[in-house]
Amino acid sequence: MLLHSVILTNTWWAPTQRPVLSTLVRCFSTLSDSFASVSSLEASSRIDETCNDLLPWLEHKAGVGISSTLSIGKSSYGKALYAAENIQTGDCLLKVPYSVQLSPNNLPEEITCLLGDEVGNVARVALLILREKEMGKDSEWAPYITRLPRLGELNNTIFWTDKELAMIRPSALYKETLRQKTQIEKDFFAVKLAFSQFPDKFQDFTLQEFAHAYGLVTSRAWESSKGVSLIPFADFFNHDGNSESYVLSDETLKHTEVIADRDFALGEEVRIRYGKFSNATLLLDFGFTVSCNSYDQVHFELNIPQNDRLYKQKLEILDRHFTRSVKDVNVFNSSWNSFTIKEVPGGGRRRRKGVPQSLRAFGRILTCDSEQELNDLVTEAAQNDGRLARFPLKNRDSEIKAHRLLIFEISRLIEEYSNCIKLLVPSCSNLCGESVLRWRLAQELLTGEVRVLESACAWLENYCSSL
Ligand SMILES: C[S@@+](CC[C@H](N)C(=O)[O-])C[C@H]1O[C@@H](n2cnc3c(N)ncnc32)[C@H](O)[C@@H]1O
């Protein structure tokens, strides 16, 4: 998952929308407001003097001003952008022209023509970073490339050791991390193979260097009309899930801009929202989590037991009737028996929307005891939109049985998570530095996912008792 920008196809939108944003955002901005009065001495102590040349360099390269309101500083999350003056809601924080953004198009043709379609855009931009890095001071992008985080500064799960990854085994993020690592290896070997024909012409790099560049791209590039783009300077914004500022791409004016969603005092950190990401997505691609993340969700798999007397029939009708299209940004993969559970606040009392319909339908099919019951579901599906078991079963006991099965399976998963969380505690005393951070990240991920599962159980219990 990359950062998402909002694509603008015309330019009149902003002035009319800003006031709406400001009223919306004021009620969210309690955390940032606590910084509101920063003395100018404090403000200047946060400035990262080693980066003072970056913005003037970029403006010179672009031939236009990019930002007069922000400067790069230090924070506990690495580099950050701070208000260099008082900022008002609706002010334009920066405008970065497309001409100074890095996308696969910036790779020299002699490299592009060697790469097959199997090498995706993330890998191509990673290659671009490696190439510019190798050129050192001769790179026209050196002032930017040298300011990117080093390998040890990234905590994306692809950089976790096997032991660290074992901490998150119950989460779907575990498998997704392994999948991404395999993808990186595949891309690495495809590039190596392509370059092997010209050993003197292209640089050598290790899998670790390639993975580092890849992690840089997933944690700071935006999906764009050119595939994937690094947007220098804009990529020093840190994330605040409650912010209503995000990156806007203006396809007509060919620039990216960010508008302030509230007032900022001089020296306050300005953050934007990367997307409505769950902790699993944040951890995979950015190497951090947020506490009590309202976008958390759990990927849950259910199977038909092989000893089910109607195993074949159930598989067959699921194969024929279950069609799904998943567009959620946090869904890693989807298959006929995997479901995404989101938090149902307050256990879903009086809420019609709770546990996904598709999961409840699956429960109804799983608990069918006879071919007649299955045929009834097929007939009902044909009379409606073709999807199976979307309606409550007519027999109340059968409906309760279907939902009790889900409660049982989810409770089993909660137990698995709880055992894993318990195991996290004693090892904590042996940890230091980076490992403590990753231990905390694992804990935040797992406890957030347990919260989601518990809310689903509460919703199901509530539903059963309401029948
Ligand atoms: C787009 S970059 C932002 C600039 C970055 N801090 C730097 O030093 O270059 C995204 C990275 O910043 C850090 N980050 C951003 N927002 C964060 C947050 N709310 N909590 C912790 N780390 C965050 C993470 O390391 C993430 O991968």
Judged against a pLDDT cut of 70, whether residue 207 lies above it is answered with: yes
Residue to substitute in 148, 239, 245 for testing ligand 1 pocket (most ligand atoms within 8 angstroms of CB): 239
DSSP H/E element including 259 = strand 255-259
Identify whether residues 136 and 247 lie together within a single domain: no
pLDDT in tens, 10-23: 332 232 222 211 21
CA–CA dist 126, 138 (Å, integer)? 18
Instruction: Evaluate whether residue 278 is within a structural domain.
Output: no
CA–CA dist 282, 105 (Å, integer)? 27
Ligand 1 centroid, distance to 258 Cα (angstroms):
17
Instruction: Evaluate whether residue 284 is within a structural domain.
Output: no
Place of tokens 């009309």: 225
Residue 229: strand pairing partners = 222
What is the DSSP code (8-state) at residue 269?
Answer: B
* Interhelix angle 371-383/357-366, nearest 10 degrees: 150
Ligand 1 centroid, distance to 286 Cα (angstroms):
7
CB contact at 8 A, 456 and 355: yes
The CATH number that applies at residue 363 is 3.90.1420
Instruction: Evaluate whether residue 279 is within a structural domain.
Output: no
Q: Can you say whether the dihedral through the CA atoms of 176, 410, 319, 357 is positive or negative?
A: negative
196-212 average pLDDT score: 88
Ligand 1 centroid, distance to 77 Cα (angstroms):
5
433-443 average pLDDT score: 88
Identify whether residues 84 and 129 lie together within a single domain: no
Q: Return the closest-CA partner of residue 202 out of 127, 123, 146.
A: 127
CA–CA dist 198, 353 (Å, integer)? 58
pLDDT in tens, 54-88: 999 999 999 999 999 999 999 999 999 999 999 99
- Nearest ligand 1 atom to the CA of 75 is 6
Identify whether residues 452 and 304 lie together within a single domain: yes
Domain boundary among 167, 191, 226: 226
Identify whether residues 328 and 435 lie together within a single domain: yes
Alpha helices in 198-278 (DSSP H): 207-220
Judged against a pLDDT cut of 90, whether residue 443 lies above it is answered with: yes
Ligand 1 centroid, distance to 271 Cα (angstroms):
10
State the pTM of this model. 0.88
Instruction: Evaluate whether residue 190 is within a structural domain.
Output: yes
- Nearest ligand 1 atom to the CA of 235 is 1
Instruction: Evaluate whether residue 288 is within a structural domain.
Output: no
Judged against a pLDDT cut of 50, whether residue 199 lies above it is answered with: yes
Name residues whose C-beta falls within 8 Å of residue 233's C-beta, 6 or more positions apart in sequence.
Answer: 54, 55, 58, 66, 67, 70, 72, 94, 96
Identify whether residues 267 and 348 lie together within a single domain: no
Instruction: Fill in the amino acid letter for 182.
Output: T
Ligand 1 centroid, distance to 61 Cα (angstroms):
25
What pLDDT does residue 322 have?
63
Name residues whose C-beta falls within 8 Å of residue 336's C-beta, 6 or more positions apart in sequence.
Answer: 318, 319, 322, 324
- Nearest ligand 1 atom to the CA of 154 is 25
Q: Which comes out higher in pLDDT, residue 46 or 439?
A: 439
What pLDDT does residue 34 have?
38
Token pair recorded at residue 281: 């997505």
CA–CA dist 207, 213 (Å, integer)? 10
What pLDDT does residue 84 have?
95
Count structural domains, the chain: 3
CA–CA dist 207, 192 (Å, integer)? 10
Closest residue by Cα to atom 13, ligand 1, is 77
What pLDDT does residue 352 have?
59
Identify whether residues 211 and 236 lie together within a single domain: no
CA–CA dist 445, 422 (Å, integer)? 14
- Nearest ligand 1 atom to the CA of 148 is 9
Token pair recorded at residue 205: 């790099």
What pLDDT does residue 140 have?
96
- ipTM, 2 dp: 1.00
Judged against a pLDDT cut of 70, whether residue 331 lies above it is answered with: no
What pLDDT does residue 28 have?
27
Ligand 1 centroid, distance to 253 Cα (angstroms):
28
The CATH number that applies at residue 90 is 2.170.270.10
Domain boundary among 226, 255, 283: 226
What is the DSSP code (8-state) at residue 299?
Answer: E
Q: How many CB atoms lie within 10 A of CB 247?
A: 23
Q: Is 87 exposed, middle or buried (0-12, 13-18, 19+ CB in 10 A)?
A: buried
Place of tokens 């905590």: 155
pLDDT in tens, 146-183: 999 999 999 999 999 999 999 999 999 999 999 999 99
Identify whether residues 256 and 356 lie together within a single domain: no
Identify whether residues 221 and 238 lie together within a single domain: no
Instruction: Evaluate whether residue 42 is within a structural domain.
Output: yes
What pLDDT does residue 13 have?
29
Instruction: Evaluate whether residue 457 is within a structural domain.
Output: yes
| Domain ranges, residue 59 | 6-101+231-272
What pLDDT does residue 423 have?
87
Q: Which comes out higher in pLDDT, residue 327 or 58?
A: 58
Residues in contact with ligand 1 (CB, 6 Å cut-off): 77-80, 149, 219-220, 235-239, 286-288
Identify whether residues 460 and 363 lie together within a single domain: yes
Identify whether residues 378 and 433 lie together within a single domain: yes
Domain boundary among 199, 226, 253: 226
Identify whether residues 148 and 213 lie together within a single domain: yes
Residue to substitute in 77, 150, 438 for testing ligand 1 pocket (most ligand atoms within 8 angstroms of CB): 77
Residue to substitute in 154, 286, 291 for testing ligand 1 pocket (most ligand atoms within 8 angstroms of CB): 286
Closest residue by Cα to atom 27, ligand 1, is 286
* Interhelix angle 121-135/172-196, nearest 10 degrees: 60
* Interhelix angle 371-383/311-321, nearest 10 degrees: 10
DSSP 120-182: -HHHHHHHHHHHHHHHGGGSTTHHHHTTSPPGGG---GGGS-HHHHHTTTTSHHHHHHHHHHH
Instruction: Evaluate whether residue 431 is within a structural domain.
Output: yes
Average pLDDT, the chain: 86
Closest residue by Cα to atom 19, ligand 1, is 239
Identify whether residues 80 and 62 lie together within a single domain: yes
What pLDDT does residue 351 have?
56
